[in-house]
Amino acid sequence: MFLRIQLGFLYGACALLTLSAASQQRPPPLLLVSFDGFRADYLQRFPMPNLTLFYNHGVLVEHLTNVFTTKTFPNHYSLVTGLHAESHGIVASSMYDPISHKHFSNSKDPMWWNEATPFWISVQKAGYKTAAAMWPGSDVSIHNQTPTHFFPYNSHVTFQERLSNVTNWILGSEKQEGVIFGALYWEEPDHSGHLFGPENTEDMSQALKEVDDNVGLMISELKRTGLWGHINVLVTSDHGMAQCSTERLIRLDDCLHADNYTLVDLTPVAALIPNNKTEAVFALLDKCHPNMTAYLKEGIPDRLHYRHNERIQPIILIADEGWTIVQQGNALPRLGDHGYDNSLPSMHPFLAAAGPSFQSGFRVTSLQSVDVYPLMCHLLGVPPQPNNGTLGNILVMLVAEANWNVAVIVGLVIGGLIVLTTISVLFKRMCRWRQPSVLRSSCRLQVEHGNDEDEALLT
């Protein structure tokens, strides 16, 4: 009896043990690709046959809510740390550190990056090798480590060259084990978006065709090398792009003289250090323009997660979508820009994923970009650093999660059936064991209330 009951529960546990044992093997390699400035709705506005083919084999997250500010450096570091900008310290593309008195603009100084641990370091601590091609921060010695293989940043290196090197590093050789994580960055369509603006259909169509061609190159390269179907690939971006115009200029000189402040960053999020009384400078900026919101550092909304870091300046100015902050003049620096409030759909990128770990033909409406980091840790079995992401938000995309649930349910159902069958058999046996005494009791009752003739028949 007890053996049958135990077998029922053990059958359910068997599937769990099988999946657990499989997870102890080396996981499939992971490739993370970013096409800078790829606004989410480009997927609906422009033909993207190769990218469509890619996510039809896997998963498409239609909108990825990125972190504030919606700039290149903060968001690329958030993707590989799972942290908001205030937590990882890369709060803008131009920064000032009041402790070291240093200025940042694409700096290779580790001081700026050491407030967080990027994913490639965690992967290496887990015993694997990594590679990166131009990913922001990957050519910096963060916590005294770089990726196992990397390129110093050089915008003239083609996408094909970056891709070929990363895939070769993943494949490895007879003498060298292949890397398990690779990161690849490409500058488009961000460059074209700034130059032409996202509403310029003709020029953006050409730029996005080149991006889609690069996705086609990636698929072909993965098939040629035999990696397709054996590697998990995440294709995403850091931010979107908004259309700007000369009719939407905000001039700081119209509000206060430049002697009153030191400018750290400009448009569409301006960062200022007041040279005089902070409250007086803020009062002037607070009424400067109806399409610009001024915040004292301590008054920045909680939802932006942009307050708790020394590199966030005492006064922050945020322009409305499509507006540009300048100090003076009528010159428009660019026709397309980003950095605006991260709740705006125009600032959102997308996420596509395909590979053996992902479901096929699956769609998700929206996720947070900080969720990508715990997903990558889960895919490679790497212990995550403290982060702002939530793994549970993203597990629905995975085949393993569906298989896990099916295995558990099937195991428990079969186990339950065995238990019920065992109980039924035992109940019938107990009835048979007790049947003679039950019959004797019935006979005595009939004797007591029957006549002599009945008694003779029953004895």
SS (H, E, C) 56-120: HCCEEEEEEECCCCCCHHHHHHHHHHCCCHHHHCCCCCCEEECCCCEEECCCCCHHHCCCCCCHH
Q: What pLDDT score was predicted for residue 427?
A: 56
Contact (Cβ atoms closer than 8 angstroms) between residue 58 and residue 360: yes
Regarding whether 268 and 151 lie in a shared domain, the answer is: no
* CATH code for the domain in which residue 180 is found: 3.40.720.10
Domain span holding position 328: 246-333
Catalytic residue selected from 65, 69, 70, 72: 72
* CATH code for the domain in which residue 273 is found: 3.30.1360.180
Q: Is residue 177 part of a domain?
A: yes
* Dist CA 377 CA 371 (whole Å): 10
Name residue 249's beta-bridge partners.
324
Nearest 10 degrees: Cα torsion 17, 18, 23, 28? -170
* Dist CA 422 CA 430 (whole Å): 12
Regarding whether 348 and 320 lie in a shared domain, the answer is: no
Q: What pLDDT score was predicted for residue 451?
A: 39
Regarding whether 269 and 322 lie in a shared domain, the answer is: yes
Regarding whether 346 and 317 lie in a shared domain, the answer is: no
Name residue 184's beta-bridge partners.
33, 133
Burial of 451 per CB tally in 10 Å (0-12, 13-18, 19+) = exposed
* Dist CA 118 CA 110 (whole Å): 12
Regarding whether 52 and 165 lie in a shared domain, the answer is: yes
* Dist CA 332 CA 251 (whole Å): 11
User: What is the number of domains present in the chain?
Assistant: 2
Q: What pLDDT score was predicted for residue 422?
A: 62
* Dist CA 401 CA 19 (whole Å): 10
Catalytic residue status for 246:
no
Q: Is residue 4 part of a domain?
A: no
> In the 8-state DSSP scheme, what is residue 301?
-
Q: Is residue 234 part of a domain?
A: yes
Regarding whether 352 and 269 lie in a shared domain, the answer is: no
Name residue 96's beta-bridge partners.
103
Name the pTM for this structure.
Answer: 0.84
Q: What pLDDT score was predicted for residue 239?
A: 98
Compute mean pLDDT per 10 residues along the chain, 459 residues long, and list them.
39 39 74 98 98 98 98 98 98 97 94 98 98 98 98 96 98 94 98 98 98 98 97 98 98 96 97 96 97 98 98 98 97 97 98 98 98 98 98 93 48 58 62 47 36 34
Q: What pLDDT score was predicted for residue 425?
A: 60
Name residue 336's beta-bridge partners.
243
* Dist CA 77 CA 187 (whole Å): 16
CB atoms within 10 A of CB 117: 21
End residue of a domain, out of 333, 362, 385: 333
> In the 8-state DSSP scheme, what is residue 322?
T
Q: Is residue 439 part of a domain?
A: no
Q: Please count the CA atoms within 13 angstroms of the CA of 99 that sit on its side-chain side.
A: 7
Regarding whether 146 and 111 lie in a shared domain, the answer is: yes
Q: Is residue 33 part of a domain?
A: yes
Question: Which positions ≥6 away from 433 have C-beta within 8 Å?
Answer: none
Give me the long-range contacts of 43-49 (CB less than 8 A, separation at least 24). Answer: 43/350, 45/201, 46/204, 46/205, 46/208, 46/209, 47/209, 47/212, 48/208, 48/211, 48/212, 48/215, 49/212, 49/216
